Structure 1
Amino acid sequence: MVAPVHVVGVRHHSPACARLVRETIAAHRPAHVLVEGPADFSGRIGELLLGHTPPVAIFSYVRDDRRTRLSWAPFCDYSPEWIALTEGHAAGAEVRFIDLPGWRTADTENVYADAEHRYADASERLCRAFAVDNVDVLWDHLVEAHPHDGLAQRLTTYFDLVRGEADAGPEDTAREEYMARWVAAAAARDDGPVVAVVGGFHRPALLARLAAATETTTEWPAVPAVPAGTETGSYLVPYSNRRLDAFTGYASGMPSPGYYQRLWESGPKAAATGLVADVVTRLRKRRQTVSTADLISARALGAGLAALRGHPHPARTDVLDGLVSALVSDALEQPLPWTARGPLTAGTHPVVVEMVAALTGDRAGRLHPATPAPPLVAAVGAELTALDLDGDRDVRLDLTEAGDLRRSRFLHRLRVLGLPGVERRSGPSTGRDATAAERWRLTPSDHREAALIEAAARGGTLPDAAAATLAGLAGGRDEVGALAALLYDAALCGLADLAGDLTTRVAAGVRSARELGPLGAALRVALGLWRHDRLLGTAGSALLGTVVTTATRRALWLAEGVRGGDTPAEPARLRALAAVRDAVRDSGAVLDLDKETAVGVGGRLFANQDVPPDMRGAGLGLCWALGEPVAAGDAVPRSPAVLGDWLAGLFAVAREEVLDDGGLTSVLDGLVSALSAHDFLVALPALRQAFEFFPPAERERFATALVARRGGAGSGRALLRARVDPVLVAGGAAIEEAIDEMLTRAGLADL
């Protein structure tokens, strides 16, 4: 004898399917309720029943020496799996998860992501047959709009159809074989009915395997062993409607969780009314005008569309289409989001954005206080209190103080982990920054607990988790500038061991770098950390010194190969030559960097007309900044098409020398003053970019020198506060000059 088996195929996060599961359990009073979910969590189902506020999720990770993989199995109030767990337990059934462990499926970010891509052809034909846009609208039309009308049979027909044409891969086959063994074992025990709740895609295959089974056993299938050298773990985490929503990127079975929460709690009529109210409330809070007439029109249009589409009450898209018709009078640049799946696209109408937000809702889950959590959560909470960093506050730190340096490192580790509510407002950005002050903004967040639990997958302590996070980021990047930025993050976090490993990777990247801009970024970071950064413990590092030496020589080699004629200035490569200047001028003697070599490269850049003008100017600047006498005024190009770009290169590398040389200021004043209005308009954009290399105080100093040259007295600050856009002024002057030329040619200039 075997007990009767009732396999309920569901779409994850469907209110209608959740009701069907509840009704099935109530009707059959099963001895066993088996749920698609990670079998290794079966012994901990009691944790799910503590009394949480959904949405919550089972978070699983697997970590080995190559990578860390993560997965989530989320539950909300109306998830069929959640109803199976809670209603099954309340009915006295033995409740178990029967799917492969989360770590076995951790290549799939979300365990409960539906398999629609595997039956896309069948879904597309159904969408065409019912004249709907996508599978979500189809589901609403076939299921959620008619939840009580022969639902079980309609679901069976639907899932049989889509599974009949789908190609199940090896992973699906393995999962279905494993789940079938659990169901067969429960039935063989013959101690009461068995209800199995699985994704509808798997139901036909599961029934076929059960029908074909020839051997039965009452032994539960073994949970697969964790491979040697692999660490796994699972914890409950708070989840949120935003993370559940397809409109924010989650590949779930159902979008718009806020709407479906209302549908679950109050039914379709109240859900439609509530959705309209939510949209109107959001729009009015943002000072969007929504009149009573607009509201009446939206409701009437939604009701009319529902009647036209055969829905007893307005469904989700009926309400949304009615709202758009009533509230949006502009032409829409993008298709309506609910006509497709996935995140919102750029250009979505602001009213439509608010409608989607109302659909999502702001619900955030909460775990019961007794829920087990990894040690990292309590450790971080205790450290926040001990360092006086908890609560809602602004924090100012002085990195020269030992206590503040400790607080800074702690906050940087949280920042690297992406902990919500931890924002660095200001502080040193390279080891060469003069400031030792930092400003942080700390705010409480409902998402912090989840972030910490998930961060524990990367390490058991905060330093380990931050180090693993940075190492993971470095593993996915080859660009040397990005690696150098991570190196500086490691220094800010006080992670000396990881900084050594990253420095080795940066050194390797420097040796093979092919672009001057990223190489320069790496050189700036490495030089700052090597030369100046005693606060962070990296000053004088032999490995960093090797990076600086190698990067400087590589940058000079790359710079000498730059060609391109009169191409526009590229600030990244100019900053690279400025970093070369600093390395050779300030540290050359210690790091065996030859000044004559750098001056030689600068001179050849300056003299070669095939080199872009910004690099020619930078070449001259490099010679000047390294003490090679130059007559800079004689070298300034007269062409307005290249003047600004050439100056950008010169200013980037020899800004201080330019300010100290009054002769060059006079040459530039005379040259720019002699430009015609048209030529000045041509030169102006590049000139403005060139002077951006001067900080405000130095720009004022330059302006003051110009005032003095013209016979004036006092500061030139007023010249820096133009009330009219200079491009507009230059354009007007060019028009006036053109008119004067026309009048002269016509003999009318003297009239």
Structure 2
Amino acid sequence: MPAVFLGVRHHSPACARLVAETVRRLRPGYVLVEGPADLNGRLDELALGHELPIAVFSHYRDAERTATTWAPLCDYSPEWVALREGRSVGAEVLFVDLPSWHPAFELRANRYADAEARYAEATARLCERFGTGSVDALWDGLFEVAPADGLAERLDAYFDLVRGESEADEGDRAREAYMADWVRAVLAEAEAEAGTGAGVGTDAGAGTDAATVLVVTGGFHTPALRALAARPAPTPGRPALPVPPPGAVSGSYLVPYSFRQLDAFAGYQSGMPSPAYYQRLWEDGPEAAADHLRQSVVTRLRARRHPVSTADLVAAAALTGGLAALRGHPVPARTDVLDGLAGALVKDDLTQPLPWSERAPLAPGSHPVVVEMVAACGGARTGRLHPDTPAPPLVHDAAARLAAIGAAGSRPLTCDLTTEEGLTASRTLHRLRLLGVPGRHRTAGPAHGADPVTTERWEAGPEAGRDAALIEAGAYGATLDEAAATVLAERARTTGPTDTELAALLFDTVLCGATDLTDRLLGTLAATLARHPDPGALGAVLATALGLWRHDRVYGAARSPLLAAVLDGAVARVLWLVEGAHGRSGADPARLAALAAVRDTLRHAPDLLTVTTADTAALALRIARDPHAPADLRGAAHGLRLTLTAGGDPDPGPEPGLASAARRAAGDPGTLGDWLGGLFALAREEVTADTGDGSLLAAVDAVLAELTDAEFLIALPALRQAFAWFPPRERERIARRLIERRGLRGSARGLLRTTADPVHLAAARALEENVTALLDRHGLRTAR
């Protein structure tokens, strides 16, 4: 007899019920399921007694491509029900789809990604015909809350319409051809067994029908599989399992999954949204699911102190019933309940569409009531694997490493980086951080290689998801060292020489102790710095490399020639880029930080550089005098020359001195703050040095005092940004010196505290003065 095809929607309770009923009724000899065929020898792992949801995680890596995919399974997944019910009646259950590493899944992170979303023309017409805005609402009305009678026929009609004349993409065509090969092969086996009477009555119960083959796949594939399976088999026997190319690494493991990961509102692109609602629908039916959803939303809202009155509940129930009747639903569907609750409980205007109206993730700024409604639909269930489930070697290696460094418990861990034990513990924890494994987070330690800090503190945090993260990280290697090195190498391959993440990548490489990779990365950096176009990104690399060069005793990076080459190339390139910068661009903190890194390199490693201190001071003078250079660079150049000349005149010439340079900058109040920001970024200590009336602070104060009120108001926003370079303690010291300079009394700390935004206060004062001047002009001011 021909195969019995059941086209299903992934994670659909209605389809799961149909699969269960069909298996029990037909008692087939074979059940073929859409799933990775390379797991057929390990199906017993799926039957160990896990708490769902779980997922089959698959990974693949070669020199050209890295891929990971998930095949999630929950209680109401038709594929899971087919596996469970098929085994219960004694059928041979087989996965018949291509392995997850296959190029057919190259652009798909999820095996069960909805074909309806990829081929949406027909579903769009159906949504318009039934007056609904989303495929999920359409599906609920047609199948989930509709009577079960005739469900199989309605599903066939629906999926025939969805598939229509659509040309599947190359990946789907490859998958369908492979699944059809399996169907033809198993049909041939079933016919042979039926002819000999084998397989009939072998079950302990009523027996199975060896001639019956049940095929459970995504409904989009069913029309194509029916047509392909009717053609003659190109070769006899079951299709060969595809083998990864030589040198490739691949594998599959079971991982715990969660309702949040399944939820379309959290970004999942397959099956049904609102998994908690559909779990209740699967267990108790649509009426109980609707009641439970309403109760869950109200409970969450009241727990978070959102007022929900009895009148609101009555109104929500009435709206829900009315919407269900209007939409032709025999019992309220999910969107009926949600729309009824939203209509009764949301009292404000909504600035965004309701997420269930279009299956969209929650947008920032969503109404609090809507947020709680979506959370109630999603639920918080997390799956759990049976203890006997095989795990990749990395899971065991990580557990042993954590136990060895004393990080297996919940107590904080302090690592002394000057000892071998502390450095080993630090590298272990940084490798886990790099792999995205939760459980520990660093609260103190060196940052970006520039801090002379020799201890790290790691606090224990929530461990939810740690097992799943370790299993998934097992795709990168069998040990922490190997997995972290693979991830770093992947980042190094995908991070271009002009990427702003180069500094973070370099520091992470050192923190993880990947010495070989560090040398390769430094070599790449040294070779490409001469073409780098962004001084800000170069500055970050320079600061990191300088910190590593200075503190090599901590990281073991040593003062290698490669580090020296990076320092020399970065300094030369930053200076070349800033000298050629022209135009008005406002203050650029990253560019100023790059010049600060140049200053620090000249201070701490001058012997490594081709550029001398004298050359840099002369270049800084040229930039400072260049009227076309951005204001922040001109101020930074003054500061850089000041630091390099050990307090000498930053601008020798016909009109020397900082005050004259500041006065020229003050010719345009809009750029004064940018100029000062550059100065403060490079010469903060010199500005705050107490040298009496000849100090830089006195010069800056004199320039600001010369501004008119209107000019000061224009300059104020940039001035505030400029003084942000000073930490609070230094700002308080500056305020105290200004009070003393004017012979006043008062609290410096109080001077830094205002009742409102200083810009608003200054604008208000300017407005009052303008009003007063206008009244005086017309003689309307009343004498006091």
CA–CA separation in structure 2 for the residues paired with 1:375 and 1:331: 54
CA 718–348 in structure 1, closer or farther in 2 if over 3 Å, else same: closer
Q: Within 5 Å, which residues of 2 pair with 1:337-486?
A: 337-478=355-496, 479-486=498-505
Name the SS of the counterpart of 1:226 in structure 2.
coil
Q: CA deviation at 1:274?
A: 0.8
1:194-593 correspondence to structure 2 within 5 Å = 194-213=213-232, 217=236, 219-478=237-496, 479-565=498-584, 567-593=585-611
User: Which residue of structure 2 aligns with residue 610 of structure 1?
Assistant: 628
In the aligned structure 1, how far is the partner of 2:621 from the partner of 2:26?
90
TM-score, reference length from structure 1: 0.96
- Report 1:24-39 matches (<5 A): 24-39=22-37
Is residue 141–residue 329 contact of structure 2 (8 Å, CA) maintained in 1?
yes
CA distance in 1, matches of 2:36, 2:282: 25
Matched, 1:735 2:761: no
The separation in 1 between residues aligned to 2:480 and 2:726, in whole angstroms, is 41
Q: What is the Cα deviation at residue 239 of structure 1?
A: 0.9
Q: How far is 1:145 from its partner? A: 1.4
Tell me the CA shift for residue 471 of structure 1: 2.5
Q: Which amino acid aligns with 1:49?
A: A
Contact map agreement 1:118 1:168 (CA 8 A) in 2: no
- In the TM superposition, 1:624-663 aligns within 5 A as 624-627=642-645, 628-630=648-650, 631-637=657-663, 638-639=666-667, 640-660=669-689, 661-662=691-692, 663=694
With over 3 angstroms needed to count, the CA separation of the structure-2 counterparts of 1:299 and 1:426, relative to structure 1, is: farther
C-alpha change, 1:248 and 1:509, in structure 2 (3 Å) is: farther
Once the 2 structures are TM-superposed, how far is the Cα of residue 252 of structure 1 from its aligned partner? 0.4
In structure 1, distance between residues paired with 2:416 and 2:717: 40
- Is contact 1:619–1:650 with CA below 8 Å preserved after alignment? yes
Give deviations 1:667-713, integer Å, cap 9, x for gaps. Answer: 22233234333322222111111111112232233223223212357
Measured in 2, the distance between the counterparts of 1:710 and 1:188 equals 101
Shift, 1:731, TM fit: 2.1
1:255: how far off?
1.4
| 1:84 corresponding residue in structure 2 | 82
The secondary structure found in structure 1 opposite 2:459 is strand
Distance 1:156 1:459 in 2: 44
Once the two structures are aligned, what percentage of the paired residues are identical? Answer: 55
Identify if the C-alpha distance between structure 1 residues 396 and 711 changes in structure 2 by more than 3 Å, giving closer, same or farther: farther
- Following superposition of structure 1 onto structure 2, how do residues 140-179 of structure 1 map, counting pairs within 5 Å? 140-179=140-179
Matched residue type, 2:50: H
1:16 aligns to what?
14
AA partner of residue 228 (structure 1): P
State the Cα distance separating 1:724 from its structure 2 match.
Answer: 4.1
Query: Is this contact kept in 1: 2:435–2:487, CA < 8 A?
Result: yes
Query: Given the two structures, how large is their TM-score scaled by the length of structure 2?
Result: 0.92
The letter for the 2-side match of 1:63 is R
The residue type equivalent to 2:225 in the other structure is L
Deviation at 1:750, TM superposition (A): 8.8
TM-superposed CA distance for 1:445, in Å, is: 2.5
8 Å Cα contact 1:34-1:194 kept in structure 2: yes
Per the TM alignment, residue 151 of structure 1 is displaced from its structure 2 partner at its CA by: 0.2
Q: Distance in 2 between matches of 1:166 and 1:40?
A: 29
Give the counterpart letter for 1:698 in structure 2: E
* SS of equivalent residue, structure 1 residue 227: coil
Paired with 1:546 and 1:472, the residues of 2 have a C-alpha distance of 24
CA contact (8 A) 1:118 1:167 kept: no
1:391–1:443 CA contact under 8 A, matched in 2: no
The Cα offsets for residues 138-170 of structure 1, whole Å up to 9 and x where unpaired, read as 111111111512100000111111212211233
Distance in 2, Cα, partners of 1:571 & 1:582: 16
After superposing the two structures, state which structure 1 stretch, 89-98 or 505-514, moved more: 505-514
Task: Tell me how far apart the structure 2 counterparts of residues 684 and 215 of structure 1 sit (CA, whole Å).
Answer: 80
Q: Which moved more, 1:10-19 or 1:203-212?
A: 203-212
Structure 1 589/23 Cα, relative in aligned 2: closer, same or farther at 3 Å? same
Quote the Cα distance in structure 2 between the aligned partners of 1:236 and 1:329. Answer: 45
Quote how far apart the aligned CAs of 1:601 are. Answer: 1.5
Q: Greater shift after overlay, 331-340 or 280-289?
A: 280-289
| Other-structure match for 2:207 | none
- In terms of mean alpha carbon deviation, does 423-432 or 106-115 score higher? 423-432
Q: Encode CA deviations 1:392-414: one digit per residue, 9 max, x unaligned.
A: 34444443344333222211111
Structure 1 unaligned segments of length 5 or more: list them: none
Secondary structure of 2:501's counterpart equals: helix
**1:96 corresponding residue in structure 2:** 94
Deviations 1:115-150 (A, max 9, x none): 124421111111111111121111111111115121
Match of 2:202 in 1: none
Match 1:671 to one of 690, 699, 703: 703
Secondary structure of 2:629's counterpart equals: coil
How much has 1:421 moved relative to structure 2?
Answer: 3.3
**Aligned Cα root-mean-square deviation (Å):** 2.0
Q: CA deviation at 1:643?
A: 1.8
**How big is the shift at 1:723?**
4.3
* Shift of residue 629, structure 1, vs aligned partner: 2.9
Distance 1:215 1:615 in 2: 73
Give the drift of 1:216: 8.1
Q: What is the Cα deviation at residue 533 of structure 1?
A: 3.9
Code of the residue aligned with 2:10 in structure 1: it is H
1:154 maps to amino acid: R
**Counterpart code for 2:32:** L
Is the 2:185–2:233 contact (alpha carbons within 8 Å) kept by the matching residues of 1?
Answer: no
Taking a change above 3 Å as real, the CA distance of residues 267 and 750 of structure 1, as seen in their structure-2 partners, is closer
Deviations 1:488-509 (A, max 9, x none): 1111222222222222333344
State whether residues 480 and 519 of structure 1, in contact with CA within 8 Å, keep that contact through their aligned partners in structure 2. no
- TM-superposed CA distance for 1:317, in Å, is 0.4
Residue 748 of structure 2 corresponds to: 716
**Contact 2:713–2:762 at 8 Å: present in 1 too?**
yes
Q: Which amino acid aligns with 2:152?
A: A
Query: Does the 8 A contact of 2:350 with 2:367 survive in 1?
Result: yes
Q: Distance in 1 between matches of 2:738 and 2:415?
A: 41
Amino acid across the alignment from 1:586: H
Name the CA distance, whole Å, in 1 between partners of 2:347 and 2:90. Answer: 56
Aligned to 1:184: 184
Aligned residue pairs: how many? 747
Counterpart Cα distance in 2 of 1:724 and 1:9: 65
Structure 2 unpaired stretches of 5+: 194-209, 651-656
- Counterpart CA distance in 1 for 2:743 and 2:552 is 45
Change (3 A) 1:726 1:494: same
Worse-matched range after superposition: 30-39 or 725-734: 725-734
Deviation at 1:223, TM superposition (A): 0.8
Cα distance in 1 for partners of 2:290, 2:164 equals: 34
Q: Which amino acid aligns with 1:41?
A: L
Give secondary structure in 1 for the equivalent of 2:546.
helix
SS in 2 for 1:656: helix
Residues 1:422 and 1:509: Cα distance change in structure 2 (over 3 Å):
farther
The answer (yes or no) to whether the contact 1:555–1:577 under 8 Å persists in 2 is yes
